[in-house]
Structure 1
Amino acid sequence: MSESPERTPDGRYIIVRGRLWRASNPNLSEAERAKLVDRLMDARRAVGAALKAGDRTAEKAARADVHAAKVALGERGPVWWSDGAPDYNRHLVKNTPYAGDSG
């Protein structure tokens, strides 16, 4: 299994190649998180199958399923924190208040 990615000190983001990606909502129960990750993986496999088959309709539906699973996990859509802090998802770390922080 691969090493876990670096996180920001507040746990809101993982850092991949200098970019922030919103982490899953830590308030989800382990069972709910596992169910949503399974749903996400199924949807990603469906995207691959649709691409392989050249089925653009199935690809579009599968990509929508990926998005829905990521929203349910808290990785997209409304932020899962409630302190009013802005969302820096997909920003370069160096262009955010997290620059200089070490996870």
Structure 2
Amino acid sequence: MVKGQLWRCSNPSLSEDVRQQLVNQLMAARRAVKTAKASGDANALKAARADVNQAKVALGERGDVWWTDGAEDFNRRKVENTPYAEWYERLSDG
């Protein structure tokens, strides 16, 4: 949850070693995005953003869902517009 939006977490079935390797790739790609933006290199920026996306898909944060129960994907949706609205409200009342 970030600023009232639901965000998909990484696939919990990934081994810790694989997950950490993918997180390392993601962070390197994010640094490459920052460097490309600073240099104004449009081609490098496009490539770096593709690398970010590739890492996020591999982590299960984007792309096809990793769960198998048929539940809908509410990624990047406002929590109040999802079935999780009441749950989130109860957390806030805490």
What TM-score results when the alignment is normalised by the length of structure 1?
0.84
Q: Which residue of 2 is the match for residue 91 of structure 1?
A: 77
Secondary structure (helix, strand or coil) at the match of 2:85 reads: coil
Is the aligned partner of 1:101 residue 2:82?
no
Alpha-carbon RMSD: 0.9
Residue segments in structure 1 that go unaligned for 5+ positions in a row: 1-14
Please report the TM-score for the alignment, with normalisation by the length of structure 2: 0.92
Counterpart in 1 of 2:17?
31
> Between the two proteins, what is the percent identity of the paired residues?
63
Correspondences of 1:54-93 after superposition (within 5 Å): 54-93=40-79
Aligned length: 89
Report which of the two has the higher share of strand: 1
Unaligned runs of 5+ in 2: none
Task: Indicate the structure (1 or 2) with the bigger Cα radius of gyration.
Answer: 2
